Amino acid sequence: MHHIVAILVERRQEAASKVQALLSHWAMFIKTRLGLNDGVGDACAVSGLMILEMIGDEAKLVDFIKELNQIDGVEAQKMTLGR
């Protein structure tokens, strides 16, 4: 099975350090991380999108998503593919 988590950070400058702290805390469960940002060069975007491929059991994944969604300006959702 493949567990994918999409994280939308609406207020990137305010929430980024909190999101990064959680990503570091949960790093052992993150297999792949992709960050998408609309900003170019010195013009940073206000929001950002991250896609994570996660490993580990479903209960840990649910806990991780709950923690992310408690951060103001952050929305996280999961998708599971495969059997």
Confidence of residue 72 (pLDDT cuts 50, 70, 90): very high
Tokens of 33: 């991380």
Higher pLDDT, 83 or 76: 76
Q: What is the pLDDT of residue 22?
A: 96
Domain residue extents for the chain = 2-81
Query: Rounded to an integer, what distance in angstroms lies between the CA atom of residue 39 and that of residue 28?
Result: 29
Is 30 exposed, middle or buried, given 0-12, 13-18 or 19+ CB atoms closer than 10 A? Answer: middle
Pick from 45, 63, 52: nearest CA to 20: 52
Among 3.30.1240.10, 3.40.50.1980, 3.30.70.1150, 3.30.930.10, what is the CATH number of 2-81? 3.30.70.1150
* Residue 40: pLDDT over 70: no
- Are the C-beta atoms of 2 and 13 separated by less than 8 Å? no
Confidence of residue 41 (pLDDT cuts 50, 70, 90): low
Q: What is the pLDDT of residue 47?
A: 84
